[in-house]
Amino acid sequence: MQGGSSGIARCIADVRAAAGSTTFLAGTLSLKEENEVHLIRFSPAESELVCDGLFYHPNEIWDLKSCPFDHRVFSTVYTSGEGYGASVWKIPELHGQSNSPPLEQLFTLDEHTGKIRCVLWWPLGKHDKLISIDDRNIFLWNIDASNKSAKVMQKGSADMLPNLRGGSWDPHDHNSIAAITDSSLHCWDLRSMKKSNAIEHAHFRDVDYNPKKQHLITTAEDEFGIRLWDLRMLKYPLKNLPGHSHWTWAVRHNPEHDQLILSAGTDSTVNLWFAKVGTDDSGPESPPGSPTREEEPLLNSYTDYEDSIYDLPFSAQADLFVVHIIGVVDFLLAILYTVLWYMELMRWPDSTACDPRTIAIMFQ
């Protein structure tokens, strides 16, 4: 990667608002060295990653999300002394400088007293609300970037639930989120901050809503792999997709082609699935062991990594994904440009096979 530097890292985000370019933000996690936010762009002409900016960040970054309607705004969760903090930042105008100017801190989310897990932006269009989750509470904020202000609108408590770990904001309903704990998933109504339907007795690491079909979510679990669920019928999952030999840490739908799903975890493997699920399905899967149980095809498994994989966002601009690996020594970024046959891409509803081809792999 041109223009980058070394460092341990854990989180990366697609810059969805960067129209016309495939851009990512990555944050480092270093105990001894200065931490940075990397602005990374994929150059299709040269088939390589280019670092367009390196910005000093005062603390270790544990979560990073890009604002979906302003390509220069993003949030981070970071260690702050003996606790955790969360802030929203703005990237300055670069104007071709060789040295990147400092980040502008717009505001902090400073009502937390517990360990902050993540910040969520509503994924579709401009929205004046933001969510932050710590291990005991969910906060709904009203934000005003122009006035650099954030105010708590609602607060929900996990009560007797195990520690909250994270969540996902429903793209079909801005009043609903799915929050995961060590052993359950609960949907929350942000208007009342009350919990509704739930999935119990599972060790969740991640959750992602289907971007095209309402009521469908996908979960990453410690002991299984990934599962697809219909929130209206939670007795059994719609699909079981094993394929990882250790904890499954991350799961993501392709933003345009929802049947393409990525999963990754501590087995140093990225799996690309084609999971056909929709309203035309007859219902959830039978219990494990049933002779009618089917497995979806695993399109490809990427195993060129030596360390655990914690994040892997799809690009909203192309059929492209970046794998983010936390390593012992180096900050590794691998970009896999997956080219799907055009006719297959146009015929997803009738397709039974797909041949993704990795044509470029680049390491820093």
Q: What is the pLDDT of residues 109-126, one digit of tens each?
A: 999 988 999 999 998 878
Q: What is the pLDDT of residues 199-218, one digit of tens each?
A: 987 888 999 999 999 999 99
By DSSP bridging, strand 204-209 and strand 216-221 are antiparallel
Q: What percent of the chain has pLDDT over 90?
A: 39
Of 202, 244, 220, 223, the closest CA to residue 311 belongs to: 220
Cα 210 to Cα 255: distance, rounded to the nearest angstrom:
8
pTM (predicted TM-score): 0.82
Identify the burial level of 81 via C-beta atoms within 10 angstroms of its C-beta, where 0-12 means exposed, 13-18 middle and 19 or more buried.
exposed
Using DSSP, state whether 350 is helix, strand or coil.
helix
Q: Which amino acid is at 246?
A: H
Q: What is the pLDDT of residues 234-272, one digit of tens each?
A: 888 999 888 787 888 889 999 888 888 888 887 778 888
Cα 74 to Cα 76: distance, rounded to the nearest angstrom:
7
Q: Which amino acid is at 333?
A: L
Q: What is the pLDDT of residues 123-179, one digit of tens each?
A: 887 889 999 999 999 999 999 988 999 999 999 998 877 789 999 999 999 999 999
Cα 79 to Cα 62: distance, rounded to the nearest angstrom:
8
User: What pLDDT is stored for residue 159 in this prediction?
Assistant: 80
Residue 343 is inside which H or E element, if any? helix 342-346
Q: Which domains does the chain have, with CATH numbers?
A: 8-123+149-155 (2.130.10.10), 158-276+296-344 (2.130.10.10)
Cα 20 to Cα 16: distance, rounded to the nearest angstrom:
10
**End-to-end CA gap in the chain:** 5
Of 262, 266, 253, 361, the closest CA to residue 310 belongs to: 266
Cα 327 to Cα 321: distance, rounded to the nearest angstrom:
19
At 277, list the tokens. 């699920």
Q: Does the pLDDT at position 355 exceed 50?
A: no
Neighbours of 98 (CB within 10 A): 6
By DSSP bridging, strand 129-134 and strand 194-200 are unpaired
Q: How many CA atoms lie within 13 A of 241 on its CB side?
A: 29
At 80, list the tokens. 């702050």
What number is the average pLDDT over the span 286-293? 44
Cα 44 to Cα 337: distance, rounded to the nearest angstrom:
10
321 confidence band (pLDDT: 50, 70, 90): low
Cα distances from 362 to residues 97, 213, 274, 323, 336, in angstroms, run 25, 33, 25, 11, 8
Neighbours of 14 (CB within 10 A): 23
Cα 77 to Cα 215: distance, rounded to the nearest angstrom:
28
Of 133, 257, 145, the closest CA to residue 207 belongs to: 133
CB contact burial 156-171 (16+ within 10 A = b; e otherwise): bebeebeebbbbbbbb
Identify the burial level of 347 via C-beta atoms within 10 angstroms of its C-beta, where 0-12 means exposed, 13-18 middle and 19 or more buried.
exposed
Of 39, 4, 36, the closest CA to residue 25 belongs to: 39
At 226, list the tokens. 């990934």
